[in-house]
Amino acid sequence: MGDAVVDRFRAVVRSAEDRAILDPQPGRTADEAARALSVPFNSQSGRLARAAATFDGVRYGNRAADSGDYRQMVELDTALDAMKPATAGTAAVTP
């Protein structure tokens, strides 16, 4: 389950890169990605921070992941995909 959680967080970042919300940046940490995504998706900043912490705990801290962790990653990914990112001075829009 841990690999699935890690891969799903990476998919969140990759999706943002594909949508040109984030510039591709090899070596970007989970925390850096979460902070960067919190700008265009401010309403999701808490979920992004928790997802980054989960990623780090599973990937580097030998934390066991469970189905709830994976479900939270899927829900975050789905929410971000459904939102139009904010630009300077505007808020992210949920359709």
How far apart CA 37 and CA 13 sit, in angstroms, is 8
How far apart CA 69 and CA 40 sit, in angstroms, is 23
Global confidence as pTM: 0.90
Tens of pLDDT, residue by residue over 17-64, are: 999 999 999 999 999 999 999 999 999 999 999 999 999 999 999 999
Determine, yes or no, domain membership for 91: no
Determine, yes or no, domain membership for 93: no
Looking at the structure of the chain, the number of domains it has is 1
Structural domain boundaries, residue 63? 2-82
How far apart CA 90 and CA 63 sit, in angstroms, is 37
Q: What is the pLDDT of residue 92?
A: 61
How far apart CA 84 and CA 58 sit, in angstroms, is 29
Determine, yes or no, domain membership for 61: yes
Determine, yes or no, domain membership for 92: no
